[in-house]
């Protein structure tokens, strides 16, 4: 990939260079475990570079507590990095559930709206899997199954609502970092990060491009397990920072 560099380097360089909110669009070939590790590692780098940095990660519990992720973490020795243990303690993880009923407002919306009340000034706020956290599909399928209905019409009916909730949550994430507490001694304000799989973001790329200053396309480097990134849109000339 011409112009691509490691994901962590790109995100931190863009944030350090005054870049605004960033969306990370992971290729479908990248597993859920890899996506979770990548987002954690990006936040970890923020905390390693700044001994006072504190970050927030919003995601569904199963993304970090599944047997698959536990096996993945052991294989990659994520828990054996003693140098990172102190920095990891400054990553505040909040587990969020998708909407419990079809058409209901996602719990994530209230959490994002409340970020301005944090007792600390975050360096970065990240949401992993926004599409799933704002989707009513699971609730709609459950309701249809309980009444013996065909789930397909129910899913079609939630699509428009899901798109509205996705747009609302993405906008609130960006707005939240603008309203978040800010340490006067810091050179840069809080960074908003959105991690999403490409298949879930495919029909929403224009929306993401209008909300986020940088939209990264994240892929696995050839003949390597390293994740690399490059701007998804030609108008986002930020390759020089990474």
Domains of the chain with CATH codes: 5-241 (3.40.50)
* pLDDT score, position 137: 67
- Quick one: 15 exposed, middle or buried, by C-beta within 10 A (0-12, 13-18, 19+)? buried
List, for residues 130-140, the tens digit of each pLDDT value: 999 999 865 44
* Below-70 pLDDT ranges, the chain: 1-4, 72-73, 75-84, 137-157, 180-188, 234-242
Single out the residue of 5, 67, 35 nearest to residue 221, CA to CA. Answer: 5
Q: Please name every residue paired with 217 in a beta bridge, in sequence order, or none if there are none.
A: 25, 230
Question: Nearest 5°: phi and psi at 25?
Answer: -100, 105
CA angle, residues 191, 193, 197, in degrees to nearest 5 = 170
176-188: burial string, b at 16+ Cβ within 10 Å, e else: bbeebeeeeeeee
* pLDDT score, position 158: 73
What is the number of other CB atoms lying within 10 angstroms of the CB of residue 29? 10
* pLDDT score, position 136: 83
What's this model's pTM, rounded to 2 decimal places?
Answer: 0.85
Q: Is there a contact between 13 and 22 (Cβ–Cβ < 8 Å)?
A: no
Q: Is there a contact between 57 and 126 (Cβ–Cβ < 8 Å)?
A: yes
């Amino acid at each position: 990939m011409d112009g691509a560099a490691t994901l962590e380097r790109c995100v931190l360089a863009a944030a350090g260079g005054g870049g605004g909110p960033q969306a990370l669009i992971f290729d479908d070939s990248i597993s859920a475990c890899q996506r979770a590790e990548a987002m954690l590692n990006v936040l970890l780098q923020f905390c390693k570079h700044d001994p006072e940095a504190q970050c927030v990660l919003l995601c569904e519990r199963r993304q970090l507590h599944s047997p698959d992720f536990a096996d993945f973490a052991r294989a990659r020795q994520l828990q054996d990095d003693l140098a990172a243990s102190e920095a990891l303690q400054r990553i505040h993880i909040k587990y969020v559930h998708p909407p419990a009923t079809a058409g209901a407002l996602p719990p994530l919306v209230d959490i994002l709206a409340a970020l301005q009340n944090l007792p600390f000034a975050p360096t970065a706020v990240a949401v992993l899997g926004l599409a799933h956290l704002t989707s009513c599909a699971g609730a709609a399928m459950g309701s249809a199954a309980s009444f013996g209905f065909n789930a397909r019409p129910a899913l079609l009916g939630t699509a428009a609502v899901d798109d509205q909730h996705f747009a609302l949550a993405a906008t609130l994430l960006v707005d939240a970092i603008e309203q978040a507490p800010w340490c006067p001694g810091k050179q840069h304000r809080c960074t908003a990060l959105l991690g999403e799989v490409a298949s879930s973001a495919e029909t929403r790329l224009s929306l993401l491009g209008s909300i986020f200053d940088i939209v990264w396309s994240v892929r696995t480097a050839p003949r390597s397990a390293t994740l690399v990134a490059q701007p998804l849109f030609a108008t986002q000339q930020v390759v020089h920072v990474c």
